[in-house]
Amino acid sequence: MKPKAIDLFSGCGGLTLGLKQAGFRVIGAVEIDPLAVETYRTNHKRVIVWERDITKIPAVEVMRRLKLKPGQLDLLAGCPPCQGFSTMTTLNGRIGQDQRNDLVFQYLRFVRAMRPKAVMLENVPKLAKNWRSKRLLAELKKLGYKTQHGILDAADYGVPQRRRRFILVGGRGKIIPFGRSTAVKCTVRKAFAKLGKESKTDPLHKLPENRSAAVRERIRATPKDGGSRLDLGLQFQLNCHRKCNGFKDVYGRMAWDEVSPTITGGCFNPSKGRFLHPTKNRNISMREAALLQSFPRSYFFPVKRGKTSVAQMIGNALPPEFIRRHASEIFKYLLTVKN
What CATH number has the domain bearing residue 197? 3.90.120.10
164 and 204 in a common domain:
no
Neighbours of 319 (CB within 10 A): 27
173 and 228 in a common domain:
no
Question: Residue 92: its pLDDT value, please?
Answer: 47
245 and 311 in a common domain:
yes
Contact 69, 92 (CB under 8 A): no
pTM over 0.85, yes/no = yes
Rounded Cα–Cα distance for residues 51 and 62 (Å): 12
Q: Which residue has the higher pLDDT, 107 or 200?
A: 107
Contacts of 147 (CB under 8 A, 6+ apart): 119, 137, 140, 141, 168, 169, 170, 175
174 and 65 in a common domain:
yes
- Label the pairing between strands 145-153 and 164-172: antiparallel
326 and 199 in a common domain:
no
Rounded Cα–Cα distance for residues 176 and 329 (Å): 7
12 and 146 in a common domain:
yes
Q: Is the pLDDT of residue 10 over 90?
A: yes
The mean per-residue pLDDT over the stretch 238-265 comes to 81
Q: What pLDDT, in 10s, does the model give residues 230-240?
A: 777 666 666 66
Question: Residue 91: its pLDDT value, please?
Answer: 46
Rounded Cα–Cα distance for residues 176 and 211 (Å): 49
326 and 300 in a common domain:
no
Q: What pLDDT, in 10s, does the model give residues 123-157?
A: 999 999 999 999 999 999 999 999 999 999 999 99
Active site residues: 82
Residue 200 binned pLDDT confidence (cut-offs 50, 70, 90) = confident
303 and 179 in a common domain:
no
136 and 13 in a common domain:
yes
Question: Residue 95: its pLDDT value, please?
Answer: 47
311 and 254 in a common domain:
yes
156 and 224 in a common domain:
no
Q: Name the residue among 166, 283, 154 with its Cα closest to residue 218.
A: 283
Residue 101 binned pLDDT confidence (cut-offs 50, 70, 90) = confident
Rounded Cα–Cα distance for residues 113 and 62 (Å): 10
265 and 285 in a common domain:
yes
What is the tally of structural domains in the chain? 2
Residue 214 binned pLDDT confidence (cut-offs 50, 70, 90) = confident
Which CATH number belongs to the domain containing residue 56 in this structure? 3.40.50.150
Print the domain residue range for 113.
4-184+319-335
